[in-house]
Structure 1
Amino acid sequence: MEMRGSYPKILLLMVMVVVAAARDKDPSGFVTWNNNYYTTWGHQALVLNETSELHLTLDHNSGSGFESYSIYGSGSFNMRIKAPPQTKSTGVITSFYLRSKSSRPDELCFQILGNGRQYMLNTNMFMYGEGDKAQRFRLWFDPTKDYHSYRFLWNPHQLVFYVDDTPIRVYKKNPNTYYPAVQTMFMHGSVQNGSKIDPKQMPYTAKFQASKIDGCVTTFMGIDKCTDPKLWWNRKENWQLSSKERELYTNARKVYLDYDYCSDKKRYPKVPQECRSYG
């Protein structure tokens, strides 16, 4: 009789486990916002339907930003973003980035820049606290009309910036230059005022959808555990671009690259040493 009575309890426990798991991960492939991210500054983020999207607001008082609870040492990090509608004087910056917490941080960054008639996509890197490594692109779509994917692939061998599965920037590990493989990083998103904006158009709202996080969760000093080749993003086939990706990469840079600091001889008469590490 006691064993029969235990079945409902076991069944209830199983249901509770399933429900708890469902709260962390949505069947559509999106993660639950409040279990993975929190507002770090500015306006409290508006979360719609928990897993569908998050809105960040820029108004007369402030922009806003969020950060992941977890810290990562490698992985594939994808964020779907719909930028605020543009106006003639838009100076809104919508960002998705990975950043370490130290006095000399590493950072990988996508910035969707409002630029009057056209939005631009700026990519930047900080390596051990040194920034100004911008590569800027003309987008082949309107980022305000629909969601588009912005993804970092970060493993011990290469960093790749992807837009809708097209690689646009590649940084390879090189024994002669610094490579971000020492510091762990958090995921961030934000919307803020970059230069001048039209106050009559406020508030501006940037919309984010967070896909499933394929990242190695670790501790502040635990990046070594994230080099395991069993993790799919660390496998040998991800040490370099595939032939198809190489074709997409070459075309994207040929057609859409607007600025590359490595080619800016006015700012850098001597080509920065790390430019040899770009794929």
Structure 2
Amino acid sequence: RLLLSFSGSGVQSKGTFLFGSIETLIKLVPGNSAGTVTTYYLSSTGKKHDEIDFEFLGNVSGQPYIIHTNIYTQGIGGREQQFYPWFDPTTDYHNYTIHWNPSAVVWYVDDIPIRVFRNYLSQGIEYPNAQAMGVYSSLWNADDWATRGGLDKINWNSAPFIARYRNFRTRACLWNGPVSINQCANYNWWYTWPQYRQLSYAKRGQMDWIRNKYMIYDYCKDYKRFNGQEANKDLIGMTLDKLVGNLRTYEMEVDGNKEQKTSKKILALKASDSDEEIELDKEQIAFITKNLSKFFKKKKGTGSKKRSNNNPNGYYKCGMTDHQIRECPLWEIEWRKERVENEQKARRKEKEEHSMIDAWGSDLIMMMMELMRQHLWH
């Protein structure tokens, strides 16, 4: 791709696809590339288009590129995640792959996954699974925003700016009209096999390492951008009752805003650093969201149960008649034993709740935030 002061460049595939693996090798613009953006992405057409992006934001000499990823569903984007490369992307070719199947979208760099966007369509989160997308690439002038928010402009004395591509490869289902919606999701396709529905343990470890070390922006944690009300909440320390209460509050606010047509608010809770790609199957997610309040409801009180006195004379079961129930030594022993047992149950319950939060919390909150983000954008 070539960029001059009077002309950019671009290319697109002849065919369109629904699901598969799209990859190419790219060597980015060397030297002072500030203000330039090299792109490689999938996109459908129309106002409610789907799109899956790799964009490479140039920088001044000596400063790193930014790998910018985004996904649009039904015309709505705003899901940016950005990374510094852990290599020099201008000295050699590197593989950039978009793996897209009915279960998830995965962005790979040199066979290392850096991001996953899972299919939570059953929970009301839009997912690109019904629009064919073509493959596009371009090199263009974006110096109004690309480098330090537009502070660093293109130095045209360094033109022409050249990004090089090779070994473009598609292993994807070619679009053949609406009938492809079912055909391309068929389990006969290799990308629907179990090993491609979620990352392996080793790949998950690679992704976590990259995200912990090189991710510099995550829309899920940009609470100011989405008017987050709970920007500094620590999810791990939050009780399940409080989590449910916060979600109920958000739901009532959204319902009230719909009726009154006032400005919408969003609840943003801080999840763990491992981010959105915790692997849960759809049944677990459906169970959590549909039964959240009931499943996480905390029993009121942990003290002893109120004892009923079936003895009309007020005596306890020891059979002695010279004292009342609360003066009975046997009653005192049983009451203390029961109190200890209840305290132990309460501690076990609290430990189990925190285990549930550790296992499910990040993914659950990501899903809730995504639903809220869609409310805000609509």
Corresponding position: 1:203 with 2:160: yes
Corresponding position: 1:276 with 2:276: no
CA distance in 1, matches of 2:112, 2:171: 18
CA distance in 2, matches of 1:247, 1:128: 32
Q: What percent of counterpart residues are identical?
A: 35
CA distance in 1, matches of 2:194, 2:50: 24
CA distance in 1, matches of 2:7, 2:186: 41
CA offsets 1:228-252 (integer angstroms, 9 cap, x no match):
2222111111110011101001111
Partner of 1:181: 129
Give the CA deviation at 1:210.
3.2
Please point out which of 66, 70, 86 is paired with 2:31: 86
Q: 1:99·1:105 contact (CA, 8 Å) conserved in 2?
A: yes
Q: 1:112·1:121 contact (CA, 8 Å) conserved in 2?
A: yes
CA offsets 1:79-130 (integer angstroms, 9 cap, x no match):
111111131x611101100001122111000011112221110001111101
Distance 1:158 1:191, change over 3 A: same
Partner of 2:20: 75
What code does the residue aligned with 1:200 have?
Answer: N
User: Which one has a larger percent helix, Structure 1 or Structure 2?
Assistant: 2
CA distance in 2, matches of 1:57, 1:102: 27
Partner of 1:224: 182
Query: Larger relative CO (CA 8 A, sep 6+): 1 or 2?
Result: 1
CA distance in 2, matches of 1:204, 1:233: 36
Give the CA deviation at 1:154.
0.4
CA distance in 1, matches of 2:172, 2:67: 24
CA distance in 2, matches of 1:63, 1:187: 17
Give the CA deviation at 1:220.
4.4
Q: 1:152·1:162 contact (CA, 8 Å) conserved in 2?
A: yes
User: Which one has a larger percent strand, Structure 1 or Structure 2?
Assistant: 1
What code does the residue aligned with 1:263 have?
Answer: K
Per the alignment, in what secondary structure is the counterpart of residue 197 of structure 1?
coil
Partner of 2:195: 237
CA distance in 1, matches of 2:207, 2:23: 18
Task: Give me the TM-score of the superposition, normalised by structure 2.
Answer: 0.56
The count of corresponding residues between Structure 1 and Structure 2 is 222
Partner of 1:252: 210
Superposition CA RMSD, Å: 1.8
CA distance in 2, matches of 1:185, 1:216: 11
Distance 1:220 1:190, change over 3 A: farther
Q: 2:24·2:169 contact (CA, 8 Å) conserved in 1?
A: no
Corresponding position: 1:150 with 2:96: yes
Partner of 1:139: 85
What code does the residue aligned with 2:187 have?
Answer: P
Where does the alignment leave 5 or more consecutive residues of structure 1 unmatched?
1-55
Distance 1:160 1:82, change over 3 A: same
Report which of the two structures shows the higher radius of gyration computed on alpha carbons.
2
Q: 1:218·1:225 contact (CA, 8 Å) conserved in 2?
A: no
